[in-house]
Homo-oligomer: A and B are copies of this chain.
Amino acid sequence: MDDLQQYARTMAGGARQAALQLAESTGDQRNAWLLRVAELLGTERESLSEANRQDIERAPEHGLTDAAVDRLRLTDDRIDGMVTSLHEVVELPDPVGEVFESNQRPNGLLVTRVRVPLGVVFFIFESRPNVTVDAAALCVKSGNAVILRGGKEAIHSNRALHALLDRAAGDCGLPRGAAQLVETTDRAVVGEFLGMGDLIDVTIPRGGKSLIQRVADEATMPVIKHFDGICHVYVDGAADLEMAGRIVVDSKCQRPGVCNAAETLLVDRRVADTFLPGVAEMLIEQGVTLRGCDETRQLVPEAEVADEQDFRTEYLDLLLSVRVVDGLEAAVHHIREFGSGHTETIVTSDPETSRRFTRSVDSSAVMVNASTRFNDGGEFGLGAEIGISTDRFHARGPCGLKELTSYKYVVHGTGQLKSD
């Protein structure tokens, strides 16, 4: 066993041990840890800023864009945000031990399903250091041990943050293995962890598509993930067109670089000529470049040509594909062909049409008359999220505390026998 493998196995083994203890800890203990972390974030602000400064200084060595440097920055506001977030997670109900089904059988057996932690979570993320604390908070609150692997460009910030997580564990009687940080920036260590399906229960990668693909290919344990967010807004013939315009602009422009931003606008032919020129004007005003089908370009001369590849692309930018379609069926067909199963919205005032859309479109979130940007754990009432899944197994859509749990059957009898 080489050093890197040894390093990973020791850390994963520590997490496994910690997970056993966490599964038996009380919700109060885990909340005390969250509150202590929040407290330390306040008192250790200086040292955090200093560590973050080192990352920022080294950012040019990593070739970071201005936007990436901005994401890396641990400002006072962001530290305050982390503290608020921790307090919000404290307020969420403890998922561990929740009896969410109970069923008395004719023979008297009381059959219950009880929520238990998944166990050990391997969480891989990129440069935003606030994610370190958010993810650890969700994992530990739900009774899981977490192994955190952040980007090398944030290593000093993450070390400083992890020191607080670890100190809080010691202060609150939780195992030190509850939240561990992978301190080596050697990329090969990720492969070592991904091979440890015997010790790690789930891997959650957050970042670019190539990272996710690598994790999906190599992981020997289940993965909670999504590749793409190629999200659609379909404006139906029966839509309130003013509302439709606002929803399209919000879905595209409110924050174009995130997975639940819209990438494609589908417009029912019945309203294309009344709707498209106006919405195009609003979008162009927001700096959006449009790429459209032939019909779109007849109505919107500023639009560039959209080819099939455009409809398959997650722009994550101020770019929008536009296609005129022949009503609901054609819209559903386009989404099935080009969508990524993330988020789709219909704008329509006809309940039967929206019913057909929500039934036929099979995405993690299917929305009616609302911005695609709402597909988010906070917005859905989960309190917070560790990621969004577009898989069909285990959890789908935003994943919060419940989605970080499994369950077991706990059955109480009075001497029941099968042979009775």
The number of chain A residues touching the other chain, given as a range, is 35 or more
Q: How far is the CB of A364 from chain B (nearest CB, A)?
A: 6
- A201 CA to B390 CA, complexed, in Å: 13
Q: Which of B24, B370, B374, B408 contacts A397 (CB 8 A)?
A: B408
Q: How far is the CB of A282 from chain B (nearest CB, A)?
A: 13
Given that A373-B418, A374-B418, A418-B371 are known contacts, is A393 also in contact with B392, CB under 8 Å in the complex? Answer: no
**Chain B residues whose CB sits within 8 angstroms of the CB of A371 once the complex forms:** 413, 416-418
Q: Mark A287-308, 1 if CB is under 8 A from B, else 0.
A: 0000000000000000000000
Interface residues of A in 348-394 (CB under 8 A from B): 354, 358-360, 362-371, 373-375, 379-381, 392-394
Q: Which of B396, B411, B415 contacts A240 (CB 8 A)?
A: B415
**Residue A7, interface by CB 8 Å:** no
Q: Mark A110-149, 1 if CB is under 8 A from B, else 0.
A: 0100101011000000000000000000000000000000
**Chain B residues whose CB sits within 8 angstroms of the CB of A116 once the complex forms:** 362, 392
Asked if residues B368 and A411 are in contact (CB atoms below 8 Å), the reply is yes
**Chain B residues whose CB sits within 8 angstroms of the CB of A365 once the complex forms:** 408-411
- A410 CA to B375 CA, complexed, in Å: 10
**Residue A338, interface by CB 8 Å:** no
Q: Which of B103, B354, B397, B415 contacts A380 (CB 8 A)?
A: B103
**Chain B residues whose CB sits within 8 angstroms of the CB of A358 once the complex forms:** 114, 410
Beyond known contacts A250-B419, A365-B410: 13 more, CB 8 A cutoff: A97-B359, A243-B415, A247-B415, A354-B412, A363-B408, A367-B412, A368-B411, A369-B412, A392-B406, A393-B394, A393-B406, A396-B406, A396-B408
Give chain A's interface residues, CB within 8 Å of chain B: 23-24, 97, 103, 105, 109, 111, 114, 116, 118-119, 201-202, 222, 240, 243, 246-247, 250, 254-255, 354, 358-360, 362-371, 373-375, 379-381, 392-394, 396-398, 406-419
